[in-house]
Structure 1
Amino acid sequence: MGERQERSGDAARMFAIVVWHLWLVMVWALPIVTAIVLVSAERWLIQVAAMLAMMPIVGIVVAVAVLVLAGNLPRRRLRRAGWTAAPAAAIPVLLLHWGFVIAGLLTYDSDPQRGGRPSFIEQMFGPSVAPWIAWVMFALAFVAWLGLFVTPTDADRMRGVGPRTIVTSAVAVVVVAAAVIAAPLITASADAHVYNAEVQLVDADGRTPADVSDLSSTAQAELVRAHFERTQQVSSSVRGLIAADGWLYRGNVDGGFAAVANERARPCNTDNFDCYHVTVSFRLAHRLGDAELLALEESLRAAGWDGRPDRQQDRWELTGVDAEGFTVRVGQYAGDDGIRVTVTSPSWWGRGEDVIRSMNSSDPAPADGTVTWSATEWPAIDEK
């Protein structure tokens, strides 16, 4: 029995010596691997640095050097105190530190639209991982690193490393492995919660995503047409307060979030369902005087537009919202010899931008703006 315990103790002490020397390797390896992973995931950082005529390699080298110095601080402190093997209490904490750094690298997810790539977990096994999970892993690694400054004590030195150290180290490894395995499960659970919340949201028409998806493609196209026409009607009512004719047109239907700071607009900004809003913009090649602008402010307020003008030396702009959730922005800017009227609709469920691509505008206006519209007119959209 005593001989078995002695062999176990020898194995544990050898394990502590191996961890001590491995520590020096990891001090260099982890920062270098971290830099490689982050740079490959966030290529846009390199692109931005290149456009700014910077030397990204210098920043990367400095960052790696800082991480190496930080990683070596606890080991250097112990070495100065006379340690030649990893302390018993420090070994599981050290394994947690390394493990959570590796877990953060495995779960690090970058936006592919910005030139990044999905996490290694998603690439290898399929399930996605929420971007915030990697930062939680890195935060836990940082906490474990701080723990390395307080775990070794004189009692640890006297007691030495024993079989229990191997057990606690194994527990640390299991904890990290469980965290990596749980990451996709946590993401799936969070996504399901978000989905269940979003599926009940209603758009500006009071429809849910399911209500719209149940409609035929023809019915959805008619809805887009109706929303386009309604936005043009709202724009027409505003333009009529300024001038009867002479308006140049620019308009579109956009997918995604309508940036309207108004709860009545019911904007959609979700990951699970498509949505769209309509933006129409007209320009009048005529500047208004101060008295005309004041009169326009009063007219807009009387017409139900809730907003205040922004008067500055180089511009005049008024943004208002009506009861339906439409937002109007009327602006007169320095360097522009006209006034602009832009109306943004609230948001609706569906792929309106796809539908509008299947329609064509009857507006024959060339780029030089020789065709103008009256305040009560706008381009029609017709099925191709």
Structure 2
Amino acid sequence: MTELGGLIARRIALTGPISLADFMAEAMGHPRLGYYRRALPVGAAGDFTTAPEISQMFGELLGAWLAERWLAMGRPAPVRLVELGPGRGTLMADALRATRSVPGFHAAIDLHLVDINAPLREAQRSTLQAYRPAWHERFDEVPAGPLLLVANEFFDALPVRQFHRTAKGWRERMVGLDEAGALRLALAPGPPPFEPLLPEAPEGAEAEFSEAGRALAGAIGARIARDGGWALIIDYGMASAGRASSLQAVRGHQGVGILERPGETDLSAHVDFAALVAAAGVPAFGPVDQGAFLRRLGLPERVQALKRNAKAAQADAIDAASARLIAPDQMGTLFRVLALGDGRNAPPAGFTDFPADDS
């Protein structure tokens, strides 16, 4: 058992079983031992690979989307450009490089990065130092003002609660201890206080929701309603993902048990986009498939532009990266894109209808 696992086990021994959400909060965000406090999770040497690490095209197209939204907003200056969970800074670096020619955009940007990971902050500092970013541990620390926000694979890492439908009703899945003192999963004996929020379902059904995700979406929506702006959320999940158990654990790009080696294992769950829209309370576009979104933003054209002067091996790599981003059997349909806006501007690129057009 890891040091953090031992601390969690002692907490349970003293106070009783804890929810999976509480376990995730400790495993991912413990001030000293949490996974996102000290791990370098992104890339081949880490536990997972994100879209910006696959190809520069992803960040470039998102940069163009953000710049277009800034123009639609009337070119506010300053505009708070915010990224939640910026990884190594790759997405933002590509986005800013691709928008250097947009008149006035870079001069208006006030860059803010929300991240609790000290090693990754150092990587971001190296990559983005020319833009003088400010760092925050929470979104609510970002100063007031017009907002342009991007969150790629951020909401999936927020804690979730899980529920199982028994013959006697919904019961919450908890983390307790077995006879040997090891962490184990078990159902709470009584009904959860969240039962009114859970769907009607037959015995054996599973449900899952994220209080933290809903709270953050609400805070983003409130900021947009007050100060104006747009948010772009990209993550894996379905239009409404709450009616299943999706929590998974990954270490070294391999699936493992969700209770294994807390603090050294990545935990994530599918995002319930419908819940985010409801919590945000502002106009929403999508979610749409990532593949459809990137094609509408011009990914095929960008592929051809990059290949014009590429050698054969480079061209093959560009094609492979494009396929990984948009192919239905890769990231194209698993990942979804949601835009939240203030309703004061023209509809954004990448979404053909309001509020949703494809699935």
Q: TM-score range by the shorter chain?
A: under 0.3
Name the one with the larger helix percent. 1
Name the one with the larger strand percent. 2
Q: RCO greater where, 1 or 2, for CA within 8 Å and sep 6 or more? A: 2
TM-score normalized with structure 1 length? 0.19
